[in-house]
Amino acid sequence: MPQEEFEEEPELVSDITDIEIIAVNTSIHILEQLRKRYGGDRWRKLKGKAYVIDDHGQVILAEVHWYECHGIGRRRMKVKFPMEG
């Protein structure tokens, strides 16, 4: 299935499960942008699965990616891959 493009940050309707770290600090391509905009020192990029509401109002299971920093929280969440099931 092609990558879903959402106009806004997705609305989660469940907790995020199967969370994995996929990049830390210098491995993150937009690290300087994150630090300039939000501050923080130790950023991580994570992925997981959650039920979200798509642009058509349907609830779908999707893989979501986001950046996270201690004391700042989740930022720039995106739906990367809608999943079946």
More confident residue, 82 or 14: 14
Q: Is residue 70 part of a domain?
A: yes
Q: Is residue 4 part of a domain?
A: no
> Are 18 and 68 contacting, i.e. CB atoms less than 8 angstroms apart?
no
Give the range of the structural domain holding residue 53, as residue numbers without chain letter: 11-83
DSSP 7: S
HSE toward the beta carbon, residue 45, CA cutoff 13 A? 14
Q: Is residue 40 part of a domain?
A: yes
> Any idea how long the chain is?
85
Closest by Cα among 62, 85, 68, 66 to 77: 66
Q: Is residue 72 part of a domain?
A: yes
The total of structural domains in the chain comes to 1
What is this structure's pTM?
0.83
> Are 52 and 7 contacting, i.e. CB atoms less than 8 angstroms apart?
no
pLDDT of 8: 66
Tell me: the pLDDT tens digits for 40-85?
999 999 999 999 998 889 999 999 999 999 999 999 999 987 776 5
